[in-house]
A and B are shown apart, each in its own frame.
Chain A
Amino acid sequence: DTAVSQTPKYLVTQMGNDKSIKCEQNLGHDTMYWYKQDSKKFLKIMFSYNNKELIINETVPNRFSPKSPDKAHLNLHINSLELGDSAVYFCASSQPQGYGYTFGSGTRLTVV
């Protein structure tokens, strides 16, 4: 069983479109995250939810909107996609302090 699963794995879309990425975890963790990895492999946190409540919202354009219907799911919706949104997006989950995160395998988004 995959612990943190993301869909789709690849997403190619045109500028201006709206797209969603889904994430689910079966680890029973309370907290879920979205990270963006750019072309230089740099990882930056975007959002964090704890038990469906938003607790971290870094400086991210408001075209990006996370949604957490329950603590096992955290989806990412992106409006009006731009070329600069092309990246790999990772979902992750964790338990409290002292533990690392468990990451999904990533969604490679390419905006053309």
Chain B
Amino acid sequence: GNSVTQMEGPVTLSEEAFLTINCTYTATGYPSLFWYVQYPGEGLQLLLKATKADDKGSNKGFEATYRKETTSFHLEKGSVQVSDSAVYFCALRSQGGSEKLVFGKGTKLTVNP
């Protein structure tokens, strides 16, 4: 079945550091890929998405590129801020069938001033 594997957290960075959160997936066909963010005590918000190979999703300084050859969708940001502290989830949605959204286990990011 479809699955998403994210790097284990937690990740702790200083403000203005470079961020990478690795995400790889297993799926048949050509799924759509997503990054969601969950701030403390809140629900999940869509951060960015990519629907086909080589697409780059970007939002709020974050970006991720859909790499079919490596089945990856790594999240990056050049300079993190304290306000980026949250849990980040990689997810995929397959074509056809039930089209359910399958999540990775989440990576908690803490950014210190």
| B38-81 to A contact mask, C-beta < 8 Å, 1/0 | 10001111100101000000000000000000000000000000
Q: Which of A13-21, A61-69, A74-82, A97-105 contacts B (4 or more CB under 8 A)?
A: A97-105
Residues of chain A contacted by B101 (CB below 8 angstroms): 33, 45, 92, 94, 100-101
Residues of chain A contacted by B43 (CB below 8 angstroms): 90, 103-106
Indicate if the CB atoms of A103 and B87 lie closer than 8 Å. no
Of listed B34, B89, B98, residue having the most chain A CB within 10 A: B98
Indicate if the CB atoms of B46 and A96 lie closer than 8 Å. no
Within 8 A of A (CB), among B93-111: 93, 95-96, 98-103, 105-106, 108
Give CA–CA (A91, B40) in the complex, Å.
18
| A40-59 to B contact mask, C-beta < 8 Å, 1/0 | 11110100100000011000
Residues of chain A contacted by B46 (CB below 8 angstroms): 100-102
Indicate if the CB atoms of B99 and A96 lie closer than 8 Å. yes
**30 interchain pairs, CB-CB under 8 A:** A41-B87, A41-B106, A42-B103, A45-B101, A45-B102, A48-B100, A55-B98, A90-B43, A90-B44, A92-B101, A97-B32, A97-B95, A97-B96, A97-B99, A98-B32, A99-B32, A100-B32, A100-B34, A100-B36, A100-B49, A100-B91, A100-B101, A101-B44, A101-B46, A103-B44, A103-B45, A104-B43, A105-B42, A106-B42, A106-B43
